[in-house]
Amino acid sequence: MPYSGFSLDGKVALVTGAARGIGAALAAGLAEAGANVAVSDMTTRLELARDTQSRVEAAGVKSATYPLDVLDINSISPVIGRIVDDFGKLDILINNAGIRIRKPALEVTEADWDATLDTNLKGLFFCAQAAARPMIAQGWGRIINIGSQFSAVGSVDRAPYIASKHGVAGLTRALAAEWAQFGVTVNAIGPGPTETPGMLAADDRTPEQVQADLDYRMPLGRRMQPHELTGAALYLASPAANATTGHLLLVDGGWTAL
């Protein structure tokens, strides 16, 4: 009999920041594994989010697009309530929405700090909190937070980003400890450098400088592609991961191995 532990047939997932990049790739991957997928992003990216919805629907599952800005804390619970009403439940949350600001620590402004921490950590927490309520009520759920290799190590010119991603790792452990009793697991994925529109926009280095950095720091020797994170997400979302919680799964091309 084929092993079915990775099947997501009949599950309902929400992916935040799903208009492009990692979020779009993970939404499509969940759909290919059988999950129905609610797609969300900011109102300015809804057309791109609908493109992701089309990719999801091409896998033969149900999808819909919802405007969700994780900085608008009061809007999070109503949106998740709509998703539960529309799909009948919520089993999986991929907490993907995030930003990065790359600059020396001496140049970081309060606005830089607040934008990064409010998006990457505060918004992530309140999305997890809102999603956990229906998951706890049904006795099963998967919350997967997108961290970074910088959830585990430091670097230069990324102080707010690294602070937020270390926070994601710690918050993942705290929520995992609190919600395991209710059948809800909480884990994080730590991607290494991944070629996304957000990363490219935040990096003002030349291609030669980027490659020199990758040659020095990353055994893989290149930036990863968003779809290379799909396997990690499918594992953590699936019944195969019933006993995995509070874990930071690094998918970083060997960055933290050095």
Residues 30-62: pLDDT tens digits?
999 999 999 999 999 999 999 999 999 999 999
pLDDT band at 5 (very low <50, low <70, confident <90, very high): confident
List Cβ neighbours of 221 (8 Å cut-off, separation of 6 or more): 214, 215, 253
Q: Which two tokens stand for residue 107?
A: 């140049």
Least reliable range by pLDDT among 5-9, 117-121, 175-179: 5-9
The pLDDT of residue 1: 57
The pLDDT of residue 79: 98
The pLDDT of residue 204: 82
151 touches 110 (CB < 8 A)? no
What is the chain's length? 258
Percent of the chain with pLDDT over 70: 99
The pLDDT of residue 202: 78
Q: Give the chain's radius of gyration (CA, Å).
A: 17
* Residue of 249, 229, 228 lying closest to 185 (CA atoms): 249
Residues marked active site are found at 161
Residue whose entry in the numeric block shows the structure tokens 């602070």: 163
- 133-157 residue pLDDT tens: 999 999 999 999 999 999 999 999 9
**Which CATH code of 3.20.20.10, 3.60.15.10, 3.40.50.720, 1.10.579.10 fits the domain covering 12-257?**
3.40.50.720
Share of the chain residues as helix, strand and coil, in percent rounded to the nearest 5: 55, 15, 30
- pTM to 2 decimal places: 0.96
The pLDDT of residue 24: 98
Q: What is the mean pLDDT of the chain?
A: 96
Over residues 148-175, the mean pLDDT reads 98
